[in-house]
Amino acid sequence: MEMNPKVRNLKYYPIKSCAGIEVQEARIEMAGLAVRNYKDHEFAVVDAQPDTEGVHLFVSQRGKRHKGDKPIPQMALIRPEPDDDGIRLTYASSSIDLPYDKNTGREFTVRVFDDVCHGAVDQGDETAKWLSDVIGFNVRLVKAVGSFNRMSRQNYMLNDNPLRFQDGYPIHWFPIESVNELSEKAGEAVQWQRFRPQIVAEGMSPQYEHQVRTGYLGDVSFIDPKPCERCTIPLVDQETGKVSKKEPNHTLATYKQWKNIYGDNSVIFGENMLPCREGTIRVGDTIGIVEMRNPPLAYGERAA
């Protein structure tokens, strides 16, 4: 196909694993998207009970991050609704305001996957009680601010990109054509929202994102260090909270297996992105491709 890639959708997620907010314009910082007073993945829900080392584990739609945890799909239905003063969180008929300026106070040490992060600022008892009632056990809400310090993954590419509560990189992106291809293979419509990207492109061939090494969005240059390895969250319908038993992960595993640097076969979808400078990005901005991945990414059929 003749390619004329552009930005199709922009979305940021103030609280890790909760619903996001789709926007027409955002600022790209080295640590990811920012919109007005809020930043992408600036907040996270953590278990109120620390482990034996005094560290609070992050909580997501997958559970508390212990083996055997039950999923918490209702987190997808905690929706941030922006207004002139900030953001209000809603769940069913209940709501609470999410302040942007609570940047000091009690500090927690938080574990996000392998990263132990000091200095996450607790957002208070009222917010904690509201979230605990929704989620079903005692949690706290913390903010990546002040002395909080975390860096993007360094194992595929050395970089100086700070990180908030994203999984490992500031931005996740893919073209809508890759979603359409997946839908066709799965025999059912797959919503792009299931993959929780910050940027959705259009005007590319399916899977073309895996060929891209460097490029630019508007006037912001970027580099792709690695594909995004998929967890179970795409099984959750992000609009209803309903959990699928198979799709889209089952179909992805039939044609998007990738061997990572540790020799493990992983299912992938989309690419991780490291911004190389800061600037503003808008829906409709041109996506320029500067350099292709060399050697090309090797992936294919399900491993025997």
Would you report the helix, strand and coil content of the chain in percent, each value rounded to 5? 15, 40, 45
Cα–Cα dist 187/67, whole Å: 32
Tell me whether residue 253 is in a domain. Answer: yes
Give the pLDDT confidence score for residue 64 in this predicted structure.
65
Q: How confident is the model at residue 1 (pLDDT cuts 50, 70, 90)?
A: low
Position 228 in a domain: yes
User: Is there a domain that residue 210 lies in?
Assistant: yes
Domain count, the chain: 1
Q: How far is CA 46 from the centre of its chain?
A: 16
* Position 67 pLDDT exceeds 50: no
Task: Give pLDDT tens digits for 18-37.
Answer: 999 999 999 999 999 999 99
What was the pLDDT predicted at 69?
Answer: 64
| Residue 279 lies in domain | 6-11+168-300
Task: Categorise residue 303: left if φ over 0, alpha if ψ from -120 to 50, beta otherwise.
Answer: beta
116 assigned to some structural domain: no
Which CATH number fits the domain that encloses residue 284? 2.40.33
Specify the higher pLDDT residue, 105 or 2.
105
Q: What is the pLDDT of residue 276?
A: 97
Residue 110 lies in a domain: no
What's the maximum distance between 2 C-alpha atoms anywhere in the chain? 57
pLDDT tens sequence across 76-127: 999 999 987 789 999 999 999 999 999 999 999 999 999 999 999 999 999 9
48 occurs within a structural domain: no
The token pair that represents 27 in the structure block? 């600022």
Distance from C-alpha of 177 to C-alpha of 183, rounded to nearest angstrom: 10
Q: What is the pLDDT of residues 158-206, one digit of tens each?
A: 999 999 999 999 999 999 999 999 999 999 999 999 999 999 999 999 9
Res. 304: pLDDT tops 70:
no
Residue 302 has pLDDT above 50, yes or no: no
Comparing 298 with 235, which gets the higher pLDDT? 235
Task: Kindly indicate the confidence band of residue 207, based on its pLDDT and cuts at 50, 70 and 90.
Answer: very high
* pLDDT single digits (tens) 242-296: 999 899 999 999 998 888 888 888 999 999 999 999 999 999 999 999 999 988 8
Burial zone of 7 (CB within 10 Å; 0-12 exposed, 13-18 middle, 19+ buried): buried
Phi, psi of 280 (to 5 degrees): -105, 140
